[in-house]
Amino acid sequence: MSNKPAVLVTRKLPPAVEARLARDYDPHLNTQDRLYSTDELLTLAQGAQAVLATHTEHLSADVMARLAGTIKVIANFSVGVDHCDLAAAKQHDIIVTNTPDVLADATAELTMLLLLGAARRASEGERLIRARKWDSWSPTFMLGTQFTGKRLGIIGMGRIGQVVAKRARGFGMEIHYHNRSRLDSEREAGAIYHDSLDSLLPQSQFLALHCPNTPDTQNLFNAERIAQLPDDAIVVNSARGNIVDEDALIVALRSGKIRAAGLDVYKDEPFIRPEFAELNNTFLLPHLGSATHETRDAMGFRALDNLDAVFAGREPRDRVA
């Protein structure tokens, strides 16, 4: 019997991450990459001292209570921890960690793809090509919205929002942002701070959502906020689906109040509202924000660094509970 700590790994991870797990731990790997039910997860966790989880597991207060006594740490393969009941984890002395810092570049790249894809009707154009329905060019064919030199509003100027701002400056965009607190001048880098959404939204010809999913931000982007945007604004979300009131967004896309939307996250993913797929003015991706080889390896190694610290008796770098 192995004397290494036993770790339940809830999803299939990159090969390099699983190799390090096998070297340093006694892992139960999810080789089929199935989404475990809660009962399966709890059964598989029996005998383990740690869980290496992702945002696809719902670790509720009840789950935390049933993991208590055996599970010492939940190391998340994600930055967001809205899938974990952190208060319950603290109550049951379960350490919870996440993987910040390492996915800002990848998610910012994806945000730029969403902005450009939505603005230039990329999804619509690709469908036309794949269906072999493009039959001519004309001066008024499939006109999109120019990105260069426009005003970009960013809600949530954390690590990812700051990288998005940096990339957007390369397109000559004027950056406006709202954050819980104003950044220092070095990190602000000329961006214009707004102390309220009421001030930010009317300036946002393009809008990127980068705030975390919390009780305060659920349905933050609703009909009232949409009405404050300039007509024909373009909106993208690569943060969390719960930030957006999807009914209100669909209404605004149908009416043309919002010219286009680029979405990588959804309220009930992997289920996506059929209305989004039916609309021509949507650019849709399946939660690919951090999906690069480099970033997913880095996320796994960061999660393992946190496990290493816990089992060595040290405080993990990225503890959130």
Residues labelled as active-site residues: 240, 269, 287
* Amino acid (1-letter code) at residue 159: R
CA distance 272 to 89: 30
* Amino acid (1-letter code) at residue 306: N
CA distance 259 to 124: 13
CA quadruple 258, 115, 144, 241: dihedral positive or negative? negative
- Looking at the chain, list the stretches that DSSP marks H as alpha helix, in order from N- to C-terminal side: 15-24, 38-44, 61-67, 86-91, 104-119, 122-130, 159-169, 185-188, 197-200, 223-228, 246-255, 274-278, 293-311
CA distance 204 to 225: 11
CA distance 290 to 13: 13
Matching residue, tokens 């919205």:
145
What pairs with residue 7 in β-bridges? 27, 50
DSSP 279-296: -TTEEE-SS-TT-SHHHH
Query: Contact at 8 Å (CB) between 148 and 174?
Result: no
The candidate with the shortest Cα–Cα distance to 173, out of 212, 147, 137, is 147
CA distance 24 to 9: 14
